[in-house]
């Protein structure tokens, strides 16, 4: 079962002019499983970001939210080409880096992570820059092809990251995505998981059904324990490895089944996709056929909080629901983001957490950008 969407976009207006949706097949019951008992809620307590006013609070494209070791809020603003830092209650502190091609300068940086001593890693397309705890530029690591994304900086030095490499092959590109550790060299010092897949070189087709299993959702502790789940619409499975790669955790939900995306959710996903394309192209007209998947991913993300609990976002429910595990794989509780509006609004949200609390934001660009501070409270 799948959905094919063909559309003509005129992105200077930001309006989807033509949408043809063809549902192929009906299939068996693929409705979400029964909602689990919700013991805790993530409640929005404050936010950073304004539509107009002080430039220090007008956000362009925030990504890679985290806290510094002191508890300050930090994130990369890709459109402003720098890291922005705020106090825990949302007051602007400083920026790190700026647009450019020199040392400590960036073009659309995409990630950051702190070491426990306050040193900072910032990633962009040219490499990963190291800043000291005073935010002075120190050094840069580079790779010949595609810089790894940063999953976690390690207390022992180095970092856990994901890297994708390409191998052209007769009209297709063979891609290899690897979850690994780097300790200062171009080559990884330890590989935990990798997957190979083919990517079409056809420039006139975007086929999301081909990417069902192309994503590695992952997180890691500062001492190097790694957790990951391969994207899937058919199974719910999580693995954990010790720093030396030895498996120590395997979680599998044998009751999981395919869950179909509703037509409303499908339209919302398309609208969010269009908003990102609109922003990246500056409103240029585009005519692209797109094939969308009609099924939900089992897992949509994960992170480790300050109590060494593994938070796994469940992809099969409306809204945002996390299943929280201890380090042995036992379920501790379920938590839900408290939201009084339409659950469809949360499709493009991302949430993360650490020892200083929880942060979340909406990746859609249909409205001005905000970074939300969240608090975990017991459900009534």
15-68 pLDDT per residue, tens: 333 333 333 344 457 888 899 999 999 999 999 999 999 999 999 999 999 999
How many domains are there within the chain?
A: 2
The domain that holds 202 is classified in CATH as 2.120.10.30
Checking if the pLDDT of 171 tops 70, the result is no
Checking if the pLDDT of 7 tops 50, the result is no
Same-domain status, 330 and 360:
yes
Mean pLDDT, rounded, for 218-231: 97
Same-domain status, 24 and 139:
no
What count of other Cβ atoms lies within 10 Å of the Cβ of residue 261? Answer: 19
Same-domain status, 72 and 119:
yes
Chain segment 337-376, per-residue pLDDT in tens: 999 998 888 988 999 999 999 999 998 877 789 999 999 9
Point out the domain boundary residue: 271, 294, 317: 294
Checking if the pLDDT of 225 tops 90, the result is yes
Q: Residue 133 has which token pair?
A: 């705890």
Are the beta carbons of 85 and 356 closer than 8 angstroms?
Answer: no
Same-domain status, 314 and 215:
yes
Q: Which domain holds residue 280?
A: 1-30+261-294
Are the beta carbons of 304 and 325 closer than 8 angstroms?
Answer: no
Same-domain status, 139 and 225:
yes
Same-domain status, 148 and 270:
no
Checking if the pLDDT of 235 tops 90, the result is yes
Same-domain status, 128 and 10:
no
What does the mean pLDDT of the chain come to? 88
Distance CA(180)–CA(131), nearest Å, equals 22
Per-residue pLDDT at 19: 35
Point out the domain boundary residue: 240, 274, 294: 294
Same-domain status, 115 and 217:
yes
Chain segment 318-336, per-residue pLDDT in tens: 999 999 999 999 999 999 9
Buried b (16+ CB within 10 A) or exposed e, 144-183: eeebbbbbbbbeeebbbbbbbeeeeeeeeeebebbbbbbe
pLDDT band at residue 198 using 50, 70 and 90 as cut-offs: confident
Mean pLDDT, rounded, for 214-241: 97
Same-domain status, 267 and 140:
no
Same-domain status, 272 and 321:
no
């Amino acid at each position: 079962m799948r959905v094919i969407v063909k559309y003509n976009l005129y992105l200077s207006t930001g309006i989807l002019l033509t949408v043809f949706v063809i549902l192929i097949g009906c299939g068996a019951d693929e409705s979400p499983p029964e909602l689990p008992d919700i013991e805790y809620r993530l409640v929005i307590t404050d936010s950073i970001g304004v539509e107009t006013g002080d430039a220090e609070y007008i956000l362009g494209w925030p990504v890679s939210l985290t806290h510094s070791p002191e508890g300050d809020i930090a994130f990369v603003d890709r459109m402003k080409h720098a890291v922005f830092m705020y106090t825990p209650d949302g007051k602007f502190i400083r920026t790190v880096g700026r647009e450019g091609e020199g040392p400590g300068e960036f073009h659309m940086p995409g990630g950051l992570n702190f070491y426990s001593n306050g040193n900072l890693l910032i990633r962009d397309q040219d490499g990963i820059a190291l800043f000291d705890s005073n935010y002075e530029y120190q050094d840069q690591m580079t790779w010949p092809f595609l810089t790894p994304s940063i999953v976690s900086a390690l207390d022992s030095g180095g970092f856990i990251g994901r890297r994708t490499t390409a191998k052209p092959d007769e009209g297709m590109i063979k891609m290899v995505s690897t979850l690994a550790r780097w300790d200062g060299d171009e080559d990884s010092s330890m590989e935990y998981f990798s997957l190979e897949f083919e990517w079409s070189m056809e420039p006139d087709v975007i086929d999301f059904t081909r990417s069902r299993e192309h994503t590695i959702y992952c997180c890691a502790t500062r001492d190097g324990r790694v957790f990951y789940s391969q994207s899937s619409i058919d199974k719910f499975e999580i693995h954990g490895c010790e720093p030396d790669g030895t498996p120590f955790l395997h979680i599998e939900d044998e009751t999981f089944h395919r869950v179909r995306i509703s037509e409303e959710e499908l339209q919302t996903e398309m609208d969010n996709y269009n908003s990102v394309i609109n922003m990246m192209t500056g409103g240029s007209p585009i005519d692209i056929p797109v094939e969308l998947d009609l099924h939900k991913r089992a897992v949509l993300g994960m992170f480790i909080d300050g109590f060494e609990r593994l938070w796994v976002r469940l992809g099969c429910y409306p809204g945002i629901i996390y299943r929280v595990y201890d380090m042995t794989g036992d379920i501790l509780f379920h938590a839900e983001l408290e939201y009084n509006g339409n659950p469809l609004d949360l499709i493009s949200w991302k949430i993360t957490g650490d020892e200083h609390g929880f942060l979340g934001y909406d990746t859609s660009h249909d409205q001005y950008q905000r970074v939300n501070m969240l608090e975990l409270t017991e459900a009534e």
